[in-house]
Structures are given as C-alpha cells and as structure tokens.
Amino acid sequence: MFDRAKFWRYIRYTVLSVALLASGFTFYLDFRVRSEFEGRRFALPARIYARPLELHAGLRIAQIDVVRELQEAGYGQGPREGEPGWFANDNDWLEVAVRPFVFWDGMQPAKRVRVAFDGGAIKAVQDAEGRDLPFVRLEPLPIGGIYPANNEDRVLVRLSEVPKQMVQVLIANEDRNFYAHHGFDLRGIARAAFSFLRGHGLQGGSTLTQQLVKNFFLTPERTISRKVTELFMAVLLEMHYDKDEILETYLNEIYLGQDRDRAIHGVGLASLFYFGKTVEHLTLAESALLVGMVKGPTFYDPFRNPERALERRNLVLRETKDRGFATMEQYAQARAASLGVNQKAAMGTSPHPGFLDLVHRQLRRDYDETDLRSEGLRVFTTLDPRVQSAAERVLERKLAQFDKGKIFGEPGLEGAVVITDSQSGEVQALVGGRDVRFRGFNRALDAARPVGSLLKPAIYLTALADPAHYTLVTPVDDGPFVWKSRGAPDWEPTNYDKTFHGAVPLRMALAHSYNAATARLGTDIGVEKVLATIKRLGIEREMQPFASTLLGAVDLSPLEVAQMYQTIASGGFRTPLRAIREVTTQDGRPLRRYALAVEQAFPPEPMYLITAAMQGVVREGTAQSLRNWLPPETAVAGKTGTTTEQRDAWFAGFTGDRLGIVWIGYDDNRAARLSGAGAALPVWGEMMAALNPEPLALPKPDGIENVLIDPESGLRADFACPGAVELPFAQGSAPVERAPCASALGAAVEGVKQQAKSWMQRLFGR
C-alpha cells in the first residue's frame, strides 16, 4: 500500500539530512578556509646571511674582490636610473648604488658611494658629493635558510609593493574577470568544459581564487569532485575576504620555479631569484616573464629553456596590450627586451651546507626548531665568502691531486677545513668534506679523529709555564723511552724517522716533533697536569689520563682542534668559537646578539714562549715546506700532525689574522699514506696564501726578555759566537753561564749594556 504521508515524511527527512550534511560540509570548508587563511599563512624559513662587507679607507682588499661580492649580491654593471643595485668602475675607483638594507642595528638607506682604490687597498670612501665617509656596509650575501619540511622558500611582499602593471599583466592573462566574479568564472568554466569535451583533458578555467585554493588546501589530483570542492572553497574565500587580500596571498603563494632542492614561491622571492632585484623594481617585460611562468615554471624555466620562456613572455605581453593594460609603445619596448635573468650558480637550500650546519646547531641552543623553520628569523653570521670560497676551491683541487697518486679507488680521500679570525674566534669558513655542496656527514664537526702530534703544544706549554724548570733551551732526552704502568702493556713511543736523537733543546724537540722526547717530557710533568692545560685551552671532551694520550691517542673533531688552537692564537685569551653575530625578527627587530667574550686562561708569558716555539716548527721544523707558499716574514706558528700508519694528516696554524685547521684522511680509516706536512700543510698554505695574510707579531709581555743564545751549548752567547740566536725567556730564567764561544770583552759589554738599560728605564720610564 502506498502511504502518501509516509512518502512525504521520507522525502522531508532525506532533504533535511542532505541539507544538514551539505551545510555541515560547507561549515567544515568554511572553517578550514578561515582558519588557514587567517592563521599563520606562510611558514617562513630562517634566512641566513654572510658577514656584511664593510668598506672603509685602509681596508686591504682588491677592487676585483669587491666587484665579485657585488655581482654575487646581484648588482649589475653600469648605471641604472632611479634604482639602486648597480656599480660602475674604472681602474682606480668604483661607484656603487648601494641597496637599502635592514641591519641588526637599524636600516641603512640606499645610497650612492664612490670607493677609491690604491693598489690592493681602499684609499677613500666618499658619498655622492665627494665627502669622506667613515665606512659603508654592503648588504650581506644570503647563504641559505633553515626551511620548512617541504623546502618552500619565499619573501613576503605587500600588494602595495608590487608594481600595478604586474598585477594587470597577471589579471589579463590568468583571470580577466577577477574583479567581477565571486570566486568562479562561468565563462572560464565554459571554455574549460569546451576544451574538456574536445578531449584536451580537464584544465584551465580556474580563477586566481581557485588557483589559490588549489595550492593552499588541496592535493594536485584532477577529479571532478575535487573541482567541486575547490569551487565551493573559492566562493567561501570570496565571501570572507576582499579582492586585494586574495590577490596579495596569491602573489605570495604562487610557485615560480626550483633552485635545486629549494622551491621558489611568490613574486617577492622570484624577482630576487631571477632578476636580483626587489619586486617594486620589476619592469613590464620582467613581470610578463614571471606571469608567463605561472602556467609551468619548469616548462618555461628561463635558465633551462630560454627560447620557450621568451616566446611565452611575448605571448603574455601581447595579451596584456590587447586587454588595454599596456600601450603599443610599452609593448614594443618590452618585447624587444632580453630575458634579463641573472645567470648565477644554483644555490639550493645553501651553497655552504657545512657552515650552515654549524649555524643551525648554534641556533638550536637558543631557538625552537619549529620557530627556526617558520618564523622568518634573520640570522647574521660570521661567514666570509672570500675565505670560504678559497677553502672550498683549494680543498677540492688538492684532494683530487692527491687521489691521482693513490692506489686505492673509490671512495677517495676526504678532508675538512675550519678557518677562524684568530683574535675574535669568529668562524670565517668551514668545509665538511670534499663535495662542498653536499649536505651530509660534516667532518669538520662530526669526524672525531686521532689528533696525533697536534696535542704536543699543550705539553710544551705546560712545561714553559714553569720557567724554573723549563725554557726553550732546556735539554730534553730523546733516547729510547719505555713507560710501564700496571694493567697496561708497556708503552714505547718511537720517532717518525725511526731514530733517536739524544739530548735536544726543548724547542727543537717540538720543532721536529720528536715522540720519545715529548713522551718523556710529558710524563715528567705529569699527564694530569697536561690534561688540565688541554682543558683550559678549551677542549671539553673527557680524556683518559694515559701516557699515550700525550702523543695524541685522542679523537677530536677539526672544530674542537680549532677551539684549542684559538686560545693559543689569541695569546691565552679563550674565546668560544662563534658562527653567529646577531638574530633579528623577520622585520628587523633585534632578538639576540652573540657578543664577543674573552677569558684569560693563561698568563701572557708562557703563551708568548709556546708561540715562539711553534714559529720554530714552521721556520726550522716539520712545517718548513710552508715557505713554498708563504714568505718567512709571515712568521706563521703551526703544528703538523700525522697518526699511526698515516691514517690522518693534520695541520693547525695561525698568522696575525687567521687560524686554520686542515684534516685529510679516509672516512673508513684506511692508511692514507700521507703526512701532515705532505698533505694537510699544502692545503693550508695554498689557502692562506690566497688570503693575503697578516704577519704574526705578538706583543712582548713585560715578563719576557730576549737573550742571545749559542745553539751549540745552549748557553748565553755574545757577538763572538757565530750563529747565535736571540730567544725569548721568562724574566730570570735564561741560562746564566756563558758559552765557550763568548769573549771576555763580551762579558764587559754585557755589563755596560745592562747598566745602560736600567739607566734608560729610569730616564724614560721604560
């Protein structure tokens, strides 16, 4: 029996439930649209910068190096009217239209400067009116970011910053009725349907709003049901937000290409990436190129497919003209323009992943990982691009060269480099392996390797801190040495040249890195005492109080070695190695500054003595071959290190301005058959030579006196002694006894000299 009332009740229920479901769905979509659109819309990566190059009179830098840095920053050659970001040069001067930049301590506005060069240095820095300026900071080079999981990168822009014409180009080509429709465009859909029916697949017809919804909320599959959801959400978006808000979000969201593993999103980043300029300076032709790429950033990639990209751009330009957004004249001019893209090396998430790794780890001490990947923090680091590229270049080349002479096949030799400012402890360069662009195992930070003789300076420093017992000329016995300790096998260190050298002056034992003499010295002083010195030098890792520790049976990373040598290089003042100077918010508000902090770990006298002894290593010891790269006047202080079976080759050394650590070996610990002097030193030498190092000149502490010594006897010499050398001693610790070669007259002269000295001191106060 047909029950009419029941039938209508069913119908009513059905309609009601469908309506409920539909409104529930709508409500859900509405919630998603609003919450995601209004909440944190874009995750912004932390942006990492190199150190800014500060130009000032007296700076030792060649013009070519400044020009290179400007080009890296996307500055073009030749004046451009009305916009900064270019330079012009002649032999002796360089004119730069410096872009504005928000530094940690405030905004530096755009300005025109003239820099005069004289040889390899800057003579003057002047403003456009010819007035001397104390200095000019160039904007620091971006060296990567800490990205959200999908590696999306973008630079947010306001709609007001985007050239009006660019918006018009976009609308003319992607969504002609944008300002009139309510999220969907019937004519567009009709066009798409027509194309679908003709068998061209489901495509096009999307309004900007729909495209935004698609990128924002939905997966890229193409089904009818997804199209319907997209349509719904687009309408909801239009109900809640005005056209400008939607447009601005679209311009920031749109995907515009790929830089290795980094995804380029939004017109803000795209204009920097493709043209090296901020979005407000984009020309009509440049805008058209970007808009043309919306359809297919890979297909129309102007780097890889320039012809296709040009054709597409010109099509976009014609459409723009036809829609009345460009005059015939503008059109003709834009069409005639070249692509104008900035040809530069792909950077990916960072061109220097090894250094970035260090920055990331230091940041993690103070910031949340999620904040780093989403809050758009700006991080100003200590990386010096010139030093970093020298380190990368030399390590790559030398390792390839060493590999050629090797019987082993793949994988080849590996290496790591750390270079710091010897005074401030700022890390200027860091290379974590021979493939310098590879982000992965970072040997500079994570490869703990036996350090061999690199620990020796700590032993000699401990000795020299006790001038009553040890001076640079104290004889130490380099005869066969056996160390017996209960529960451990006897320890019998041998020398690198397999011979023993008898009694040698302390400074020579270090210079030639004699193992037997060093082991005897270290055990005489006491292993615990030496370990305390190592700790004071800045090594935090716990070490076993075994005698073998003295000869470097200890694993350290190159960065740890750098920390230890830093304390020696800066005269006993320990400074934590730093890779970061400042952090600001996305809009430039300062968050944190990593200040220079020093701590006096050793008195100046023993530091002076150990440095003189380490200069001896280079002058007359195991690192003599350094003279192939640097003149003796540079007076480098250093130490070579080679471990058992030559598995690890090290060189650690410093000039007046930089400290460098180089490690070379195999990842799998094979015997590399390379010594510190043979492999690590050449890398160090070539690197430093490229950086025009300052000579090492230590301030002589009050408690140090120089005394002429006869190297034969190790006793006090005078003018009568051939080959006498002047050596530093802690006040009162120099030998008193006169060498056999010294003359009687010499004794008299010495007496007069001492008297005159004290007389002069009274007269002039010093």
Question: Binder to other proteins among 56, 260, 308, 335 (CB under 8 A)?
Answer: 56
- Pick the stretch among 83-91, 307-315, 496-504, 712-720 that binds other proteins (CB under 8 A): 712-720
Beta bridge partners of 477: 503
* Amino acid, res. 309: A
Query: Closest separation between CB of residue 575 and other proteins, Å?
Result: 10
Our finding on whether 600 is near other proteins (CB under 8 A) is: yes
Q: Which is nearer to other proteins, 232 or 380 (CB)?
A: 380
- Pick the stretch among 110-118, 147-155, 269-277, 697-705 that binds other proteins (CB under 8 A): 697-705
Give the pair of three-digit tokens for residue 293: 């790429």
Q: Which is nearer to other proteins, 18 or 756 (CB)?
A: 756
Query: Closest separation between CB of residue 567 and other proteins, Å?
Result: 12
Q: DSSP characters for 40-68?
A: ---PBPEEEE-PPPEE-TT----HHHHHH
- Pick the stretch among 89-97, 260-268, 322-330, 603-611 that binds other proteins (CB under 8 A): 603-611
Pairwise CA distance, residues 561 & 540, whole Å: 11
Beta bridge partners of 417: 431, 662
Q: Which residues are catalytic?
A: 174, 453
Residue span 606-625 as binding mask against other proteins, x where in contact by CB under 8 A, dash where not: --x--xx--xx--xx-----
Q: Which residues contact 510 (CB under 8 A, 6 or more apart)?
A: 456, 457, 460, 518, 613, 614, 616, 617, 621
Q: Which is nearer to other proteins, 530 or 727 (CB)?
A: 727
Q: Which is nearer to other proteins, 133 or 671 (CB)?
A: 133
Our finding on whether 760 is near other proteins (CB under 8 A) is: yes
Query: Closest separation between CB of residue 169 and other proteins, Å?
Result: 44
Identify whether the C-beta of residue 265 lies closer than 8 Å to the C-beta of residue 252: yes
Task: Kindly identify the residues of this chain, within the stretch 78-107, that bind other proteins according to CB under 8 A.
Answer: 104-105
Q: Which is nearer to other proteins, 55 or 527 (CB)?
A: 55
Pairwise CA distance, residues 209 & 188, whole Å: 13
- Pick the stretch among 71-79, 244-252, 557-565, 592-600 that binds other proteins (CB under 8 A): 592-600
Q: Which is nearer to other proteins, 247 or 617 (CB)?
A: 617
Query: Closest separation between CB of residue 690 and other proteins, Å?
Result: 20
Q: How buried is 197 (Cβ within 10 angstroms: 0-12 exposed, 13-18 middle, 19+ buried)? A: exposed
- Pick the stretch among 70-78, 203-211, 366-374, 596-604 that binds other proteins (CB under 8 A): 596-604
Q: DSSP characters for 188-229?
A: HHHHHHHHIIIII-S-----HHHHHHHHHHS-S---HHHHHH
Query: Closest separation between CB of residue 338 and other proteins, Å?
Result: 40
Our finding on whether 756 is near other proteins (CB under 8 A) is: yes
Q: Which is nearer to other proteins, 56 or 176 (CB)?
A: 56
Pairwise CA distance, residues 196 & 683, whole Å: 63
Q: How many residues interact with other proteins (rule CB under 8 A)?
A: 68
- Mapped onto helix, strand or coil, the DSSP state of residue 351 is coil
Question: Binder to other proteins among 381, 423, 567, 622 (CB under 8 A)?
Answer: 423
Question: Binder to other proteins among 571, 606, 685, 735 (CB under 8 A)?
Answer: 571
Q: Which is nearer to other proteins, 197 or 752 (CB)?
A: 752
Our finding on whether 58 is near other proteins (CB under 8 A) is: yes
Task: Kindly identify the residues of this chain, within the stretch 104-163, that bind other proteins according to CB under 8 A.
Answer: 104-105, 132-135
Cis before residue 411, ω within 30 degrees of 0? yes
Residue 238 neighbours by CB distance under 10 Å:
17
Residue span 311-340 as binding mask against other proteins, x where in contact by CB under 8 A, dash where not: ------------------------------
Query: Closest separation between CB of residue 659 and other proteins, Å?
Result: 12
Pairwise CA distance, residues 395 & 683, whole Å: 6
Question: Binder to other proteins among 576, 590, 678, 703 (CB under 8 A)?
Answer: 590
- Pick the stretch among 287-295, 398-406, 418-426, 436-444 that binds other proteins (CB under 8 A): 418-426
Pairwise CA distance, residues 602 & 622, whole Å: 26
- Pick the stretch among 30-38, 238-246, 319-327, 416-424 that binds other proteins (CB under 8 A): 416-424
Our finding on whether 708 is near other proteins (CB under 8 A) is: yes
Our finding on whether 421 is near other proteins (CB under 8 A) is: yes
* Amino acid, res. 457: P
Q: Which is nearer to other proteins, 22 or 760 (CB)?
A: 760
Q: How buried is 313 (Cβ within 10 angstroms: 0-12 exposed, 13-18 middle, 19+ buried)? A: buried
Identify whether the C-beta of residue 672 lies closer than 8 Å to the C-beta of residue 613: no
Pairwise CA distance, residues 398 & 692, whole Å: 19
Q: Which is nearer to other proteins, 76 or 701 (CB)?
A: 701
Q: What share of residues in the chain are helix, strand, coil (percent, to 5)?
A: 40, 20, 40
Q: DSSP characters for 70-86?
A: HHHTTPEES--TT---E
Our finding on whether 62 is near other proteins (CB under 8 A) is: no
* Residue showing tokens 């104390």: 134
- Helices 266-275, 243-253: inter-axial angle, 10-degree rounding: 40
Our finding on whether 482 is near other proteins (CB under 8 A) is: no
Task: Kindly identify the residues of this chain, within the stretch 220-259, that bind other proteins according to CB under 8 A.
Answer: none
Query: Closest separation between CB of residue 683 and other proteins, Å?
Result: 25
Cα four-point dihedral sign 667, 673, 677, 679: negative
Our finding on whether 598 is near other proteins (CB under 8 A) is: yes
* Residue showing tokens 């058209």: 288
* Residue showing tokens 């006096």: 600
Beta bridge partners of 716: 709, 738
Our finding on whether 724 is near other proteins (CB under 8 A) is: yes
Pairwise CA distance, residues 296 & 310, whole Å: 13
Task: Kindly identify the residues of this chain, within the stretch 631-690, that bind other proteins according to CB under 8 A.
Answer: 633, 635, 657
Binding stretches for other proteins (CB under 8 A): 54, 56-59, 104-105, 132-135, 421, 423-424, 426, 472, 507, 571, 573, 582, 590, 593, 595-600, 604, 608, 611-612, 615-616, 619-620, 633, 635, 657, 695-701, 706, 708, 718-728, 746, 749-750, 752-753, 756, 760, 765-766
